Structure 1
Amino acid sequence: MAAPRTTVSRRRVFYIPGYDPIHPRRYRELYRKESALQAGISGYGISLSARQGGVRYGWDVKGLIDGVDVDASVDVLVWSDIVRDSMDTSILATYWQLLRTAWVYISTGALGRLMRLRKGPVIAALYPVGMLLIQLLVAVAAAFAVNWTGKHLLVPLMGPWGQAIAVGASVAVAIWLLNWFKAKDGKFFAYYLMHDYAYGASTRGANMPELERRIGEFADAIAEALADDVDEVLVVGHSSGAHLGVSVLADLIRAGRVPPDGPALGFLSLGQVVPMVSFLPDAHRLRADLAYLSVTDALTWIDVTAPGDGCAFALCDPVSVSGVAPEGKRWPLVFSAAFTQSLSPERWKALRWRFFRLHFQYMCAFDMPRDYDYFQITAGPMTLADRYAGRPASKSRIEEPVNKFTSMAA
């Protein structure tokens, strides 16, 4: 006999962003714009209002879906300050990060094993390395050109002084070019991505102390919501936020902070890049959390990716590929958002080569929606468990244990 469904009228949503230095208002504006588009396409009602007070940044949502009024309160669990601090480095320090990060992934064998999963996110990881080296070569070439010109024009006229001016001008040009490239990183994304991959590699997969403290704060916020009079507490982790969500929820459940008679607890991981961290030698904590969360009956864990997202490990079961799937594994349920089928050919054509925009498509409108709709999940009348009860996993998912490092004890 099927379990009775819970009709959700009140929901708390906690959104954990990826490695992103910007203000959380971006996520509110994305939700406001895209929810209105999806509501118009799918024929339901949804509206957003600014949060009045509160400790965390967020917004309130009213949904009218399938004839049911739903109130949802969305909180952003912010760690952008940690991200900004990790990005506050000089040009020289960034090139040192490049060498150190490449060494960690290559010397441990993690890079080769990641390539066996999906080439897209590995290429995305190699992109900043290549782009930063190109920028350095351009700066060096420009410096040589200026120096050569100066030597041939100034030395015959000014002797040693001409040589000194040529050398000084070449160094100045190289420094100016490198600073110009850094200033234009909003177009190149080389520094941004380099800092992203370097953050986890700098500790070989272990969490920084400040990140551990923030995970504890996130757990406290969710525990408070689980004691509230709501029907569902939903945690959404996007990109790097997915593996933070794994650790937050594992800590909560281990500590007995999820009441058995409380709200339904759901975890939605979107566009996850878990293997970039779990494949590193010292990611003991993350691997233990993955294994623990995969067998619990305290929540429902749905993992959604898409092969069209070149920045995610699409359809890679994060527990299984990390080599820590235990007996009795239940989670996550892995399936595809199927961009090529849920977006019209015209819309797919417009987005296909916008890689960073596609990485956020999970939280955007689909003009040919299938069974994945972010706004019905966050503001609709069904729990995550009910919505995907009986939903089969994608047949093309990858479950082969590829990770070399499977230790879960520090």
Structure 2
Amino acid sequence: MRASSQIRRRRVFYIPGYDPIHPRRYRELYRKEGAEQAGISGYKIDLKPKTTQGAYGWHVTGTFDTTQVETDVEVLVWSDIVKASMGQSIPATYLQLIQTAYAYIGSGALFRLMRLRKGPMIAALYPVFFLLAQLAVALTAGWFGYRALHALTPQPVGAALGGVAAIAIAALILRWFRRHDNKVFAYYLMHDYAYSAKSLGENSPQLEARMADFGAAIIEALQQDWDEVLVIGHSSGAHLAVSILADVIRKEGVPTDKALGFLSLGQVVPMVSFLPRAHRLRRDLAYLSARDELAWVDVTAPGDGCAFALCDPVSVSGVAPDNKQWPLVISAAFTQTLSPQRWKALRWRFFRLHFQYLCAFDTPNGYDYFEITAGPQSLRARFADKSPSKSRIERPENRYTDTL
């Protein structure tokens, strides 16, 4: 028998995706969107400075009818690792492009991933084509510069000056594109996909060390006076959370008087689990899916083109054990939970939609991020009677299913 479903004190650990931005953005997002959702749903959310240790977080008081819940949220920060991996020169980024394309095409992962969902694969191919288009523009402009100087200046000076001009023009244009990447995210997405691809799905030693620190923080919380410990993994943070929680349960187990919840949002697990050396992740997926110590709910939406919407990350990876019980795969169904006006405004803002799971919904319809994180029910109790989405995808498509 697990802990009581009634929650008065909760500890939340939020694991971001591949994001170089300071974690304060998540506090401001929670504050703004939480206030909006509270107004829609009829409860109250108050934020204060954090009361626990940790790099960055905040305290939430949630009032639901006459019930008050105290929650401490901590962001498990790995943005410094992300920033370091993004500090690449322009030539190095194009080398990453080649290496990443080879990793997914050479391993056959690309074609198998496309059988699951085309949306995230279009998102993955977008930076490749966009960067190649930028290179084509730069080289074309450089060629015209070369031809102009070559024609106007006597030989052999014209050829030499033309060559220098071509290189300078191409370099200036590529630098201009990179300076404005905050509008198109081509470099950002390239670095994101390259981060896992460079090691074919194997975590770097630096990331493993950070994940061990995250696991230690969760273990410490499980030993303290919290009714529920809730771990949230968003985007790439979801597959980190899988391995972190698997390690926590293997090492320490979960006290029977604690509720342990795992909420994966907008997950892109197959982008890593389908790679040849993702042995650890596949092993952890299989292990976690059969554990009774936690409740695992996976939330995606077909309207999120960056996520593997409604793809059961365990089953599609080909590692589902016979006694599999997690995750519960449900849809945030943006077309139903957002008003027509809001959906129209957000429909083509793909990056913003990928963060919608952390935002307010006009008609939540079972999924309310703020009630889950600050409300009086545990994750297990809240979704105990919820059926998985009928549109979920469970067919195994992964070529690599070894876990050793």
The 8 Å contact of residues 268 and 301 in structure 1, kept in 2 or not, is answered as yes
Q: Give the Å deviation of 1:230.
A: 1.1
SS in 2 for 1:303: strand
Match of 1:27 in 2: 26
Equivalent AA in structure 2 for residue 210 of structure 1:
Q
The 8 Å contact of residues 66 and 381 in structure 1, kept in 2 or not, is answered as no
Q: 1:285 aligns with which of 280, 304, 308?
A: 280
- Are residue 174 (structure 1) and residue 170 (structure 2) matched? yes
Deviations 1:356-409 (A, max 9, x none): 000000000011221100000000000000100110000000000110000000
Deviations 1:193-213 (A, max 9, x none): 111111111111111001110
Match of 1:145 in 2: 144
- Rounded Cα–Cα distance in structure 2 between residues aligned with 1:281 and 1:396: 28
Deviations 1:115-137 (A, max 9, x none): 00000000000001000100100
- Are residue 376 (structure 1) and residue 355 (structure 2) matched? no
Equivalent AA in structure 2 for residue 56 of structure 1:
A
- Rounded Cα–Cα distance in structure 2 between residues aligned with 1:3 and 1:79: 32
The 8 Å contact of residues 50 and 73 in structure 2, kept in 1 or not, is answered as no
- Rounded Cα–Cα distance in structure 1 between residues aligned with 2:183 and 2:67: 43
Q: Give the Å deviation of 1:4.
A: 9.0
Deviations 1:146-176 (A, max 9, x none): 1111122233xxx433332222112101001
- Rounded Cα–Cα distance in structure 1 between residues aligned with 2:158 and 2:93: 33
Percentage identity across aligned positions? 65
SS in 2 for 1:64: strand
Q: 1:189 aligns with which of 181, 185, 200?
A: 185
Q: Give the Å deviation of 1:47.
A: 1.1
- Are residue 213 (structure 1) and residue 212 (structure 2) matched? no
Deviations 1:178-207 (A, max 9, x none): 111111110121111111111111111111
Equivalent AA in structure 2 for residue 242 of structure 1:
A
The 8 Å contact of residues 308 and 339 in structure 1, kept in 2 or not, is answered as yes
Equivalent AA in structure 2 for residue 244 of structure 1:
L
For structure 1, list consecutive stretches of 5 or more residues without a partner in the other structure: none
Deviations 1:2-50 (A, max 9, x none): 9995211110000000000110001111101000010111111001112
How many corresponding residue pairs? 404
- Rounded Cα–Cα distance in structure 1 between residues aligned with 2:359 and 2:193: 25
SS in 2 for 1:233: strand
| TM-score (norm. length: structure 2) | 0.98
- Are residue 97 (structure 1) and residue 96 (structure 2) matched? yes
Q: Give the Å deviation of 1:257.
A: 3.8
* Map 1:128-277 → 2, pairs under 5 A: 128-155=127-154, 159-261=155-257, 263-277=258-272
The 8 Å contact of residues 52 and 72 in structure 2, kept in 1 or not, is answered as no
For structure 2, list consecutive stretches of 5 or more residues without a partner in the other structure: none
Match of 2:77 in 1: 78
| TM-score (norm. length: structure 1) | 0.97
- Rounded Cα–Cα distance in structure 2 between residues aligned with 1:336 and 1:380: 20
